[in-house]
Structure 1
């Protein structure tokens, strides 16, 4: 796609409307209106960087397996909602902006509270997800505005599935000396070395990561990850047994991905009426 014309347009993706972003240099991203779910990122002159399950489920009420699901207002089951990872990833968003500017393709998706969301979570809010793509970089920003008259707190994440050739040969660098909750072992530890590898199921919340740069590396390829606003990092891979139990992911595909998620979990965000919060994840390959 190098040198192709820049364009932002609505397209069909797996039978559902999506926003296709293409920068002047050929970098591309595709965002479903369903859940404001980023399902593809192809850097200029490069290959697909996100894992998307070939057996993912689409449509009303479905959470798409792969890409970058938006988690709000609750991470996993850590909160009052019975729904894992909240409800915005299964709702229809609208396109608020689509533009090519200064060499970047930019898309902004928007979701506002309504009677259906208030029945699940009794607060008024407005969300915007901004996706910016150019060259070999991708930026994803989630902003939350409290549009109600009472303060609320929430947890959130950009549940980024990164594609790889073999998870068993991956190295994630940059988390040395960071404390983490290990959901597999039910224990709290500190990362003793700089290199994290995948040897099976992995489910960790690294706390207060701050402005560190993480590097996901395998032979011949690397991705640098930075974040602002989000204080935690989740690292997740279901491993062999749990992947086999997932109905929307092939049994062996746990070796084709690793989630490295920008998140605010361990200290929920408190938002006063009229206030706004924003968190961003930046990826460069």
Structure 2
């Protein structure tokens, strides 16, 4: 990977590592990331780093890995529907998401376009690995088993302000190299997406999504147009080693595609 792919100030707003749990071989019994009946017990292992606890709507299926054969997150196993729990860091920049068959570590900007520096993939990956190591300890202590992944995904969400410092509108074509338009007005709600394989094999896939929406600016209470570029890479796996190996491959591929899909002018701006 050449240096020109690395930006000093990339427009990254959120990065997520996630996995769905599969059967425990050789018994083919399901493995769980979270014991439904001891959420508090699991949280005790993470409380120093993630003191906040929030209940969320459950995840049903992984977006890309599910298309490649990974099992659904929600299964009718006679256990009832598991909610998704967020364990949140004090500054809310880190979220550990746990469901009975789902794990996700997210780094995010709590306030989009904040001045907080993007810590970089290596740093975030190390944080994600540490949550899995703690999850192993919690699972072994509570349910006497280690969760086993069956599918994994890496997600990057990039947010781009569609107006300059003095309020002049910017066009989608200012940022997307493949998009050609003479429109001077951006159409709120515009979006496109596609899927593509990663490498020569069809075992791994990337979904790219671009969309134009609005961001409510706290200071001015104005809705500012925002372009979101989202990359979700996924594949089936059978071990955590395979999952984190794929995260590295997916990261490099996403950087490559981000570079190819965005304009040179935009990259110069993000490298200033």
Normalised by the shorter chain, which TM-score bucket?
Answer: 0.3 to 0.5
Which structure has the highest strand share of the two?
1
Which structure has the highest helix share of the two?
2
